[in-house]
Amino acid sequence: MSTVAVEVVYRGIFQKTLARNIVRTIVFAARKEGKIGTAFGRYGDSPERNGIPAKQFAIVSDSPEELEENLAVYEAGEVDVTINVDDTMCKGIESWAWYGLQPINALTKPGGTLIVTSRQEADALIEDIHQKDSPFNLAIVPATTSFSGLWVYKDDHTDVRILGALAKVCPELVSLDSMVAALEDQGWGGLKLTSARNSFDRTTQRPVEPGEGNDETPFTFELLGWRAMEDGLVIRGIDGATGFRGGSLAEDYDPIRSNASGDTDYQPTRNSVFKKFSTRSMRPVINFETCIKCTLCWLQCPDTCFDVTPDGLYDANMDACCGCAVCEAVCPVPDCITMVNEAEFNDNDSQWEHWTRDKDGYEKWMTELIEVQKAHDADSERSHGYHSPGKYEAESESEVALTGDDD
């Protein structure tokens, strides 16, 4: 008698099909061994939003009665394996439905495994992953984060590589042979099966001890009871905008004219418990030296994340930025705003403050980041999904070469 629960943490739009392929194949593979299972997405999620962290689950049991026991709680309290298909979510995730940061390994049970697709080393990932009171294992599937669109799928073998790794780290779930048989049933063969088997052979686990990792306390907030809530579905507005970093606004401040002309510092109102940064897989890096103060980034940002600094520059607030890259697209100055892989950063600190404090240091930091990113771009590193016909085929080729080869 046993039940195994697996969750797949993925990014909305870009990875919905990937997550679905994984959880469904788990259930098919379990059927090969006479077990029964179910696969479902967390209903409170809204995976039709770019990049939003979301979850799908697969629950596998020996018998229908046992499955019912485990489904009596819809979202599992703990899982045997957490699969994270984008390493930037190691910093924690906030779903569309649930405001508060949840560590990536929050549901991973003591002694369970967190599988991450990443090109980073284990130590770098553990720096991001929140500490737990109990030990768990970290397994890395070496891969560039696989992003597709809602209607197109990049068949770069990430799905089968994860499933191969899963059979290795959680043998009580299903055997590799059952996993491969389930893949064959879905019409997959040849190199994809080789990828799954190679991933099984090559996957290793690194034990993570209690207390090891990121020691930040994830932000949370309290849900009110019905007696304390205001009647009539009313939510009070938050106190208005201020000058930069809470200063007072200029006397002749006008919300449109003043900001557009950049002659006053300004910071919009933000909800302190509604941060959206875990949606971000890339962030803008700004060259304040070449900024011409045209206001376009400030104007076009869908999340109002730019603060106007006292010197009329625009500082992207990293608690509010979703990483949509609109600012990079609308900026008329070459390389003034560059989207860089979120994995390169360990905090949400202000870039403008960094630049003001140490202009040379900032220049060096920024230049290095941009160079690394450009090198990655040439190698199809990380991007926001589908852009042109043939793109996925080209990207898949380099990915498959990572593990798809025969030894």
Q: Is 256 in the site for another protein (CB under 8 A)?
A: no
N-to-C CA span, the chain: 38
Residue type, 75: E
Nearest to 19 by CA among 42, 36, 1, 3: 42
DSSP class of residue 342 equals G
With both helix axes pointing from N to C terminus, report the angle between 176-185 and 158-169 in degrees, rounded to the nearest 10.
150
Q: Which of 133, 187, 227, 334 binds another protein (CB under 8 A)?
A: 227
> 107 with 136: CB under 8 angstroms?
no
58 vs 402, beta carbon nearer another protein: 58
Q: Which of 2, 69, 206, 220 binds another protein (CB under 8 A)?
A: 69
Query: What is the Cα–Cα distance from 265 to 253, expressed in whole angstroms?
Result: 9
The three-state secondary structure class of 381 is coil
C-alpha distances (whole Å) from 316 to each of 120, 248, 312, 354 are: 26, 20, 13, 12
44 vs 255, beta carbon nearer another protein: 44
Q: Is 1 in the site for another protein (CB under 8 A)?
A: no
Q: Is 345 in the site for another protein (CB under 8 A)?
A: no
Q: Which of 152, 223, 250, 273 binds another protein (CB under 8 A)?
A: 223
72 vs 256, beta carbon nearer another protein: 72
The three-state secondary structure class of 94 is coil
For the segment 16-45, give every residue that binds another protein (CB under 8 A): 24, 27-28, 31, 36-41, 43-44
179 vs 337, beta carbon nearer another protein: 179
The three-state secondary structure class of 47 is coil
229 vs 401, beta carbon nearer another protein: 229
Q: Is 151 in the site for another protein (CB under 8 A)?
A: no
Q: Which two tokens stand for residue 219?
A: 């932000």
The three-state secondary structure class of 136 is strand
Q: How far is the CB of 43 from another protein (least distance, A)?
A: 3
Q: How far is the CB of 386 from another protein (least distance, A)?
A: 20
Q: Which of 2, 63, 68, 134 binds another protein (CB under 8 A)?
A: 68
Q: How far is the CB of 271 from another protein (least distance, A)?
A: 17
C-alpha distances (whole Å) from 331 to each of 150, 279, 300, 325, 368 are: 27, 22, 10, 10, 20
How many residues bind to another protein according to rule CB under 8 A? 25
Q: Is 78 in the site for another protein (CB under 8 A)?
A: no
229 vs 329, beta carbon nearer another protein: 229
Q: Which two tokens stand for residue 336?
A: 């003034």
Q: Is 295 in the site for another protein (CB under 8 A)?
A: no
Q: Is 150 in the site for another protein (CB under 8 A)?
A: no
E-strand stretches of 313-355: 314-316, 337-341
Stretch that binds another protein, among 121-129, 202-210, 226-234, 296-304 (CB under 8 A): 226-234
What are the start-end ranges of the H helices in 145-295? 158-169, 176-185, 191-202, 257-261
Q: How far is the CB of 364 from another protein (least distance, A)?
A: 48
**Dihedral (Cα; 350, 127, 87, 200), 10-degree rounding:** 170
Q: What is the contact surface with another protein in residues (CB under 8 A)? A: 24, 27-28, 31, 36-41, 43-44, 68-69, 71-75, 223-227, 233
